[in-house]
Structure 1
Amino acid sequence: MNSPPSRRKKSTSAASTDSTSAANSVNEDISQQVDPSSATITVSAVEVEELSEEEQRDRLHLERRVERAVFEAGKALMELRDRRLYRSTHKTFEEYCKERFGYSRRQPYLLMDAAVVFDNLLEKCDPLDQVLPTNERQVRSMTKLEPHQQQEVWLRAVELAGGKVPTGRIVKDVVQRIMERTQVPNTYQIGEVCQILTKDNPELRGKGGCWAIVSAVNDFSCTVRMWDGEYTIGLQHLKSYNYLPAECKQMQVICDRVAPIYSDSLEETVKSLLQSLGKVNRAYLTAVEEKLLSLIEREYGLIDQSS
C-alpha cells in the first residue's frame, strides 16, 4: 500500500529552499561589499586646545613641585634629626625613621645627602629653564664631590642625556671621569695611624674620631685595622695623625690587645670601655686605662691570671 505524500516533508523542503535563498542573498551582499583592505576610514579631527600662558605657568610650577618632593623630604628629615623632634617617642633617629616612615637604616641619610646636592644645583641652574634631578639615585654618586664639581657633573650629564633628566648611570660615569682626572696620589703608608672622618657618611656612623691603622694602600682608599675589625675607607675619610714610627708601633700594640676582645656579645660596660679606647687621640694608654684593659684581658683569659 502506497503511503500518501508527506506534507511535512514538502514544507521542510520549502523551508530549506528559503534558507538557501537567504544565504545566497547574504553571500551576494557580502560579495558586493568593498574589500576591507582597501576601505577608507574617516576619522573626525579633534581640535586640541592650547594652554594659556597662565596654565603653562601653573603646569611648570606643579611639575617642579613633583620633582622636588623627594628633596623636600630630605630637608624635613634634616630638621627632624637636628632638632631631635623624635625624642619624645624614640631613642634614636634611625628607629624613628624606620617605625614612622618604613625607612631602612641608610635611606634617611641618602635623602638628606641628596637634598644638599639639590640645593647646590639650584644655585647654578635656573629652576624655570634648566633640567633638575627628580630622584635621589640620580645624585647619589655626587654627594662626596665638592659643590663646584657637583654642578659641573650635572650639567655634563644633562648634555649627554640630550637635554633630558640623566639616569643615575650617566651621572655616575661622569663622576668617575672627574675622579680620574683629579686623582690625588695615595701617600699613606702601611702602619700609619689615621683618624676617621665621617663627613655625613652613614656607613661610617659611630666611627667618627676613631683611630685606624693602615694595613693596605689602594688607589682611592686604604684598608685599615680598627679596634673592632678591618675596613676599606676612602681617602676623603682619613686624616693622618702624623705619628712618629715608634708611636705607630705603640698604637699597633694597643690594637692587637683590644681587637681580640671586642665583640657585640660583650657586656655593655666592657663594650663602652673598649670603644672609648678606640677613640684615644694619643699613642699611649694612661695608667688607669692600662689597668682596666689588663683586668679585661685577665677576665677573658687573654693573659695568665697569675701574672
Structure 2
Amino acid sequence: MINYPMTLSTTEPNNFVGLIKIRQGDTESQVFDATIVQNGVPVDFTGLTPFFCVKSSPATGLGFSEQKVTQILDAKQGRLTYTLTDYDMQAVQLNHAYFSFRKLGSDQTWRQQFSTKGFAYSIVPSIYTDGIKDSNYIWTFEEILRYFQEWVKESMKTYDDWYLKAQAELQRIIKLFSDWINESKKEYETWRESEKEAFDQWMITNKQDYEAWFKSVKEILESIDPNGKLLSEIIDARQSVDGQKHANLKERLDTMENNSFKMTDREVDTLMVLQDDHFSKNHEITNVGTAPDSNVDYASLVIAEIDNKKQDTFYLEKVGEIND
C-alpha cells in the first residue's frame, strides 16, 4: 500500500498536501492518510460518517464521485484513511477533492455537518489509457493467457476445496445413515423377538381350539357325506356326455332344459335333427351285412323314422292351443 500523509483543515483557505501523482489503474493501493483539524486542533467527528468527494473536471462538471469512508483510525483525534477506487481515477487530469462529514437524519437522508477545504491530486496515464495499437496485441494476448491460467489455477483450488468439503459432508451423511441403520436394526431385532414370543404363545393357546373346531367340522362332513362320495358325484355330474364342463350342476341342468325342452317362436319352422347317442341301448340292432372292403372302416349312421318309413325327417305340428 502507498500512503499519502496529509493534514486537512476545515478553517484554513488552502490545504497544501504537496504534489500527489497517482497512476490510473493503481486501484486499491493508493491510500490518503488524513488528519482533520480546525484552527490547528484535531476535530472530533465521533458519531458522524465521513465521505470522500471528488470532481475530476470542475470546468465541465463531469467525473463526479462520492464514496463512504470506512477506515476510521481515531475519530476523537480526527484520524482516518481512505483507499482510492476506480471512481476516483476516472480522468487523467488534476482532481479536486475534500472530505465531508454527515449525519443520517430521521428521514434517512444524509445531512452534511462540516467539510474540509479542498485539495488536489493528479492522475497520470498508464499504458492502457490511450488504448492498444499496432503489434501490442501480442503482449495483450500473453497477458490474457496469464490471467486465464491464474483463473484456472484459482478455480481448481476453489474446486478442490469444495470437493474436499463435499467429500467430508458425504462421509458424514453416510456415517449418520449407517449409525441409524445399526440402531434401527437393534430395535427391529428386539421387536421381532418380542413379537415372535407373543405369536408362539398365541399359537400354543389357540392350537387346541383350532384342532377341536377342525375335528368337529370333519365329523359333520363325514356324517353327511361319508368318504366324500356325494361330493364326488356332484362334481362328476357337472360334465355332460359330450365332454362339456360346467361351473356348477345348476348350469348344466339349465343348459339341458334350454336345449331339450324349450323352443322359441322363431324356431317353429326350423328343420331339426335329433341325435340319440344311446340308440343302441333302447333299440334292437339287426346285422344287415358286411362292408365290401374289409380294409376300410365305414362309419354307421342309424336314422330313426317317425310314422313314415321312407322319410328320415319329421315335423312338429300344432295340435290344440299352445298357451304362453
TM range (shorter): under 0.3
- TM-score, with structure 1 as normaliser: 0.17
Instruction: State the structure with more CA Rg.
Output: 2
Q: Which has the higher helix share?
A: 1
Higher relative contact order (CA 8 A, sep 6+): 2
- TM-score, with structure 2 as normaliser: 0.17
